[in-house]
Amino acid sequence: MYNRKIYDTQLSKLKGLPLVKVLTGIRRVGKSTILRMFRDRLLQDGTPPDDILYLDMERMEFANILDAAALHQLAASRLAHNGRPRFLFIDEVQQIAGWERAINSLLNEGGIDIYLTGSNASLLSSELASLLTGRYVEIPVYPLSFAEYATFRGVPADTALFQEFLIRGGMPGLHMMTNDEEVIRQYLGSLIDSVVLKDVVGRYSVRDVDLLQRLTAFLADNSGNVFSAKRIADFMKNERRSVGVETVYNYISYLISAFLIHRLPRFDLKGKRFLEVSEKYYFADMGLKNALIGYRHSDINAALELVVFLELKRRGYTVSVGRLGDAEIDFIAERSGERMYIQVCYLLADETVSAREFGPLEALRDNYPKFVLSMDQIGGRDHNGIQRLYLPDFLLAEAIPA
């Protein structure tokens, strides 16, 4: 197992604080491994095994923990007060009915440091979860970064590996696969099926599974494009399916809750407000997207945008699309009072492309950092105060260049 330092560091900083730590993310993104490795480090650092209770709710061993009462009884008996810090880990906690009541009670009783994982965003949006308002911290877990992918593969992070990364994506389970592309595609395809069937169809009692699958494929094929419910309805009509706008939005909300897609709002930089229409959606991972619709080099710009978007989210940025008049800025990234603007393209092939990418950034009248990221490895690194960077270098940097 490989240590994903970004998450281990976050958990270490939160250790001992009277907050529930909740790792969230799509199935098989590595939440369970992160949790187990953190538990193992506690043991290596001298925590007595009797002071740790680890429940993997996908194992039959814990199939009898069905509700809040059973959870509380087990935790209270196994982690009785002994004057030492005690730790409770629950993997896939949403499988326990009313889990929030038990966790809230244990938190009130004190002395137990609590860590949870879940594969659905509604985990923390239910009425019961309001019991924990202000008493938990969510740690979103994303697929492997390019740097992590290179570590998992044990090879240099060069151009050839980056091309492989664009095709295979960053789901951690890939490092256990062979280099057979068909085997990898089948693995990723089965993962999508698992998410759709277990975390969407099963959870929300979706009746029209075929419609949901077609919508998922449409969103994968249009990842990073401006969204229109009417456009989807027209697409479904061409597919000889009738679907209402409300149904489209409901199904999309289910896919967001399952972390299979991410919604990206648009921000009007002149009006200083978020727009209620024309948002974008990005798929959870390049490999999952490619397993669903296939990899096409003609979509390289969209692929690069997705990789940069996920890197920004992984580093804790809030991300939106910028609108400046008729022009668009791919990403506005904000974190702890910082802001930066980013344009992404494949190659700055001619003056027309350069004007399209640099123009909107030059029109901005503030002093926040501005970047144009591309696969060009030659040329100037600064253009009227705008930094021009080789995209993989941006991904591999320990910190985003200032």
Q: For the chain, what percent of residues have pLDDT higher than 70?
A: 97
Secondary structure class of 361 (helix, strand, coil): helix
Between 379 and 340, residue with greater pLDDT: 340
Name the least confident of 50-64, 295-309, 369-383: 369-383
Res 239 pLDDT > 80: no
| pLDDT for 274 | 86
| pLDDT for 379 | 57
Whether 312 and 320 have beta carbons less than 8 Å apart is answered as: no
Res 286 pLDDT > 90: yes
Write phi, then psi, for 12 (nearest 5 degrees).
Answer: -65, -40
| pLDDT for 128 | 53
Give the model's confidence band at 401: pLDDT under 50 very low, under 70 low, under 90 confident, else very high.
low
Name all domains of the chain by residue range, CATH numbers in brackets. 5-140 (3.40.50.300), 146-396 (no CATH)
Average of per-residue pLDDT across 237-243: 78
Res 402 pLDDT > 60: no
Picking from 4, 335, 290, 14, the residue whose alpha carbon sits closest to that of residue 147 is: 4
Give the pLDDT confidence of 49-75 residue by residue, as tens digits.
999 999 999 899 999 999 999 999 999
Name the least confident of 228-232, 270-274, 302-306, 360-364: 228-232
Residue 5, number of CB atoms within 10 A of its CB? 12
Give the model's confidence band at 79: pLDDT under 50 very low, under 70 low, under 90 confident, else very high.
very high
- Where residue 316 falls (left for φ over 0; alpha for ψ -120 to 50; beta otherwise) is left
Give the pLDDT confidence of 94-140 residue by residue, as tens digits.
889 999 999 999 999 999 999 999 888 777 766 556 778 888 999 99
Whole-angstrom distance, CA of residue 393 vs CA of residue 335: 21
Q: For the chain, what percent of residues have pLDDT higher than 90?
A: 73
